[in-house]
């Protein structure tokens, strides 16, 4: 018991004794001394009981009304309750502000965020959860997440509760997207689920695998040929002049093939180098495309009908080496994949808005499902056909 409490109790005792003495004296003048003491004592306790009733009524009403006013020792009690209520309101407002800030920040995230109860029921989800997972907090609150994401592997992942490693799956709302789902338990069994779009990383991993497979194949073939000729030269002391010429010719062709692969890789690295400045100059369309056509004719060896059409202005400002390689790759692909006897049209059209170069051929074409992947490094529509005709998928 604190000294302040002891002082308050002593004050109440002194007040009670004073009231009893005063009542006894005043009642003595009327010959009702004992009655006056009883009435005074009863009034003292009734006053305190009324203060207790006001406190109990305020608590029973959910503390919605203002804190009652009181005097005496009850003043200190009600004053502390009033201070506590003001602090509680401030804390509640601060807590609500934190919640609102959390919701606002999670709404701005591109990642899906879902809060689960201990039994995996959805408590809250941001807007990205609707887009990536198909979870709408307005309608799905209270529903178990495994009732909405029914992939058997994900259901098993949630049942095992081994959340050390993230779980990957296709987005239910957008099957072309790949998601990495990380579940983090917190508090009393609640879980924070974060789903991140890793489609780009997934594609990069696929590109890496394609790179290893394609470049390994492209390098292995010429290396095998070179190794075979080297073994031939080491095991045969004498070769005729014609045989030696054929061997040298074939080895040179394979060496040039490997050199072309390396040059393609170096050119790609130069194009993707961050901040690399490329010189821009006037590009003579007529002479450049005429050279592209001549290369196509040489590659075709008379097997195709190749025509060049030029319309509009024939000089544009652009990086010459890159644009020439792009045009050359387009045309060489058309020659490689157009059957003998087919037609290939090289068309240049230009106006005040700029120029457009297109290649039309009578070849098999490209499936609409493969068109979005044409700009991916090392991607080839048909691996078997591409390997028959050469190429690494860098063009």
pLDDT tens track for 364-386: 887 777 777 666 665 666 655 54
190 beta partners? 186
In this prediction, residue 64 carries a pLDDT of 62
Give residue 118's pLDDT band: very low, low, confident or very high (50, 70, 90): very high
- Residue in 33, 31, 11 with CA at minimum distance from that of residue 23: 33
pTM reported for the whole predicted model: 0.49
Sign (positive/negative) of CA torsion 271, 272, 273, 278? Answer: positive
Both tokens assigned to 52 = 């207790």
Both tokens assigned to 361 = 């051929």
CA dist 202 and 198 (Å) reads 6
Residue with tokens 């544009």: 316
Angle between helices 33-60 and 73-108 (to 10 degrees): 0
In this prediction, residue 183 carries a pLDDT of 93
What single DSSP character describes residue 274? T
Task: Tell me how crowded residue 393 is: count the other CB atoms within 10 A of its CB.
Answer: 21
- Residue in 139, 126, 121 with CA at minimum distance from that of residue 190: 121
Is 282 strand, coil or helix?
strand
318 beta partners? 281
Question: What is the mean predicted confidence (pLDDT) over 3-28?
Answer: 76
CA dist 243 and 254 (Å) reads 17
Identify whether the C-beta of residue 317 lies closer than 8 Å to the C-beta of residue 282.
yes
CA distances from 25 to 28, 36, 44, 186 (A): 5, 9, 17, 70
pLDDT at 388 over 60: no
Identify whether the C-beta of residue 286 lies closer than 8 Å to the C-beta of residue 314.
yes
What single DSSP character describes residue 111? S
Question: What is the mean predicted confidence (pLDDT) over 173-196?
Answer: 89
In this prediction, residue 110 carries a pLDDT of 84
Give residue 281's pLDDT band: very low, low, confident or very high (50, 70, 90): low
Q: What angle do CA 353, 357, 360 make, to 5 degrees?
A: 140
What single DSSP character describes residue 373? G
Identify whether the C-beta of residue 184 lies closer than 8 Å to the C-beta of residue 192.
yes
Domains of the chain: 3-89 (no CATH), 109-197 (3.30.450.20), 202-272 (1.10.287.130), 281-364 (3.30.565.10)
CA dist 297 and 330 (Å) reads 14
CA distances from 128 to 108, 114, 169, 180, 283 (A): 9, 10, 16, 14, 47
Identify whether the C-beta of residue 52 lies closer than 8 Å to the C-beta of residue 72.
no
pLDDT at 87 over 80: yes
CA dist 102 and 115 (Å) reads 12
Contacts of residue 294, defined as CB under 8 A and 6 or more positions apart, other chains included, come to none
In this prediction, residue 275 carries a pLDDT of 53
């Amino acid at each position: 018991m604190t000294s302040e409490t002891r002082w308050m109790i002593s004050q109440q005792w002194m007040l009670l004794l004073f009231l009893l003495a005063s009542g006894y004296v005043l009642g003595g003048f009327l010959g009702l001394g004992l009655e006056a003491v009883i009435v005074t004592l009863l009034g003292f306790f009734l006053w305190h009981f009324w203060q207790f009733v006001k406190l109990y009524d305020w608590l029973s009403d959910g503390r919605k009304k203002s804190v009652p006013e009181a005097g005496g020792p009850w003043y200190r009690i009600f004053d502390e309750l009033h201070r506590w209520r003001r602090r509680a309101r401030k804390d509640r407002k601060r807590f609500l502000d934190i919640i609102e800030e959390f919701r606002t920040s999670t709404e701005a995230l591109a990642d899906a965020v879902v809060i689960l109860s201990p039994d995996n029921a959805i408590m809250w989800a941001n807007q990205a959860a609707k887009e990536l997972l198909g979870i709408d907090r307005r309608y799905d609150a209270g529903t178990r997440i495994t009732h909405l994401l029914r992939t058997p592997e994900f259901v098993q992942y949630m049942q095992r509760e081994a959340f050390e490693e993230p779980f990957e799956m296709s987005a239910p709302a957008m099957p072309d997207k790949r998601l990495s789902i990380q579940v983090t338990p917190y508090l009393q069994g609640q879980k924070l689920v974060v789903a991140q779009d890793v489609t780009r990383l997934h594609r990069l991993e696929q590109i890496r695998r394609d790179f290893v497979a394609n470049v390994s194949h492209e390098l292995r073939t010429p290396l095998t040929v070179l190794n075979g000729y080297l073994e031939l030269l080491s095991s045969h002391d004498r070769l005729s002049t014609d045989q030696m010429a054929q061997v040298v010719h074939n080895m040179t062709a394979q060496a040039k093939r490997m050199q072309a692969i390396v040059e393609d890789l170096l050119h790609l690295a130069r194009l993707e180098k961050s901040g690399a400045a490329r010189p821009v100059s006037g590009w003579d369309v007529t002479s450049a495309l005429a050279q592209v056509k001549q290369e196509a004719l040489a590659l075709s060896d008379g097997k195709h009908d190749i025509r060049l059409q030029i319309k509009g202005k024939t000089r544009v400002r652009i990086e010459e080496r890159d644009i020439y390689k792009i045009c050359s790759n387009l045309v060489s692909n058309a020659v490689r994949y157009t059957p003998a006897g087919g037609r290939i049209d090289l068309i240049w059209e230009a106006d005040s808005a700029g120029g457009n170069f297109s290649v039309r051929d009578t070849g098999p074409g490209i499936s609409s499902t493969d068109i979005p992947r044409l700009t991916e490094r090392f991607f080839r529509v048909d691996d078997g056909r591409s390997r028959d005709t050469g190429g690494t998928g860098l063009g």
